[in-house]
Amino acid sequence: MNNIIEVKNLTKQYKTLTAVDNLSFNVKEGEILGLLGPNGSGKTTTINCILSLLNYQKGTIKIFGKEMKPDSYDIKSKIGVIFQDVAVFEELTVYDNIDYFCGLYIKDKKKRKEYINDAINLVGLNEFKKFYPKQLSGGLLRRLNIACGIAHKPKLIFLDEPTVAVDPQSRNNILDNIKTLRNQGTTIVYTTHYMEEVEILCDEIIILDKGKILAKGTLDELKEYASIEEKITVEINDLKEEIIEEIKEFKNVDKISYERNILLITYKKGKNNLGELIDYLKSKKVKYNKIFSERPTLNDVFLELTGKELRD
């Protein structure tokens, strides 16, 4: 597959702060790249540099095989951007807003009308065409924001934290839209600090912290970074100390904790850990409410790499 974006040694400093530190990565055609990192890790700065909205100290950026510069209008015409903040005209209706932004790219009136309606259908704002932004809820505004960014049917889309402070329904709608766009062959760069979104959405993931790439790869590749293999959670009332001590001695067990009636065991590796635990609890006649096993999450990966949690 072709590389749609090639970033090499990108470094961006704001006065003394290095917001992006020697970043290199590629984005392949048709994939969703997730830029995952906590607030302030440099996600927005990276995107702004790629788009030539910011000057940067070092690095080269190629999009569609050509160097990206502020006046690369042919490249720009194939890009759509959805910024973190909602960027619309308060004085214009939903329809007119999309019309304006689409009109910056598409001059043909008939074609534009078709494109606008496609965008409205995609984000599900059909009933709100004549509404003004003030009359929309936060979630619907986000959807409008997306429609404005993608109405011209770009080949490459950047989405910067499009789901922050959005109600669950709109959030699902937005995630579905992104999948639809990908299925239509669009390449997508998606930034977020929600690891769950990255897990369900992205083909390729870059974990950023303090402007540096901590890890990159597919979800499965990244999970290799986690030192644990499995996490088992059990809800037990009044567990005796000696039982905890005994479980600690099981093979493969990495760590064990018991707090507020929740027993949490992490395993380095091994098979049938859950079966063994259930058998053991039965033999000791320990009663439990809930028991479940989990694969490590990106949060565990992040924890492993930085020693801190990703969640805010």
Partner 1 sequence: MTVFKTFWKIVKKYKGTIILYTVMLIAFGGINQIANENETDFVNSKPNVIIVNNDEEKGLTKNLIDYIKNNSNIIDIKNTEEARNDAIFFRDANYIIYIPNGYRNDILKGLNPEIEIKSSGDYQSSLAEMILTRYLKTQSIYNKEIKNETELINTINKTLKKKSIVEISSKLNTDEITKISRFFNFASYSIMAVILYIICLVLYSFNKDIVKKRTIISSMNYKKHNKLILFASSLFALLICILYMILSIILFKESMITTRGLIYLLNTFIFTFTALTLALLVSSLVNSKEAISGIVNVVALGSAFLCGAFIPVEFLPEQVLKISRILPAYWYINSNELLKTTEILNLSTLKPILIDYLVMIIFGIIFIIINNLVTKKKRVS
Q: Considering the complex, state which of residue 44 and residue 266 has its C-beta at the smaller distance from Mg ion.
A: 44
* Residue 244 interacting entry, from ligand ADP, partner 1, Mg ion, none, C-beta within 5 to 8 Å by type: none
User: Segment 45-84, which members bind ligand ADP (CB under 6 A)?
Assistant: 45
Residue 66: CB atoms within 10 A of its CB come to: 11
Q: Which of 79, 213, 228, 281 binds partner 1 (CB under 8 A)?
A: 79
- Interface characters, 4-43, with ligand ADP (x: CB under 6 A): ----------x--x-x-----------------x-xxxxx
Q: At what angle do helices 138-150 and 168-183 cross, to 10 degrees?
A: 20
By the rule CB under 5 A, 266 interacts with Mg ion: no
By the rule CB under 6 A, 149 interacts with ligand ADP: no
* Residue 59 interacting entry, from ligand ADP, Mg ion, partner 1, none, C-beta within 5 to 8 Å by type: none
From residue 168, alpha-carbon distances to 38, 119, 140, 163, 221 in Å are 21, 21, 12, 9, 29
By the rule CB under 8 A, 91 interacts with partner 1: yes
Q: Least Å distance between CB 124 and partner 1? A: 21
Structure tokens at 204: 């390729």
Per the CB < 8 A criterion, the answer to whether 152 and 115 are in contact is yes
Question: 98: closest CA among 78, 121, 75?
Answer: 121
- Cα separation, 77 vs 105, whole angstroms: 6
Q: Which of 9, 60, 89, 224 binds partner 1 (CB under 8 A)?
A: 89
Q: Which amino acid is at 262?
A: I
Per the CB < 8 A criterion, the answer to whether 263 and 277 are in contact is no
> What are the φ and ψ backbone dihedral angles of 13, each rounded to 5 degrees?
-115, 135
From residue 109, alpha-carbon distances to 120, 123, 149 in Å are 16, 21, 18
Number of residues in contact with ligand ADP under rule CB under 6 A: 11
User: Segment 36-95, which members bind Mg ion (CB under 5 A)?
Assistant: 44
Q: Considering the complex, state which of residue 112 and residue 142 has its C-beta at the smaller distance from Mg ion.
A: 142
- Cα separation, 125 vs 109, whole angstroms: 21
By the rule CB under 8 A, 85 interacts with partner 1: yes
- Interface characters, 142-181, with partner 1 (x: CB under 8 A): ------xx--------------------------------
**Residues at the contact surface with Mg ion, assessed by CB under 5 A:** 44
**Residues at the contact surface with ligand ADP, assessed by CB under 6 A:** 14, 17, 19, 37, 39-45
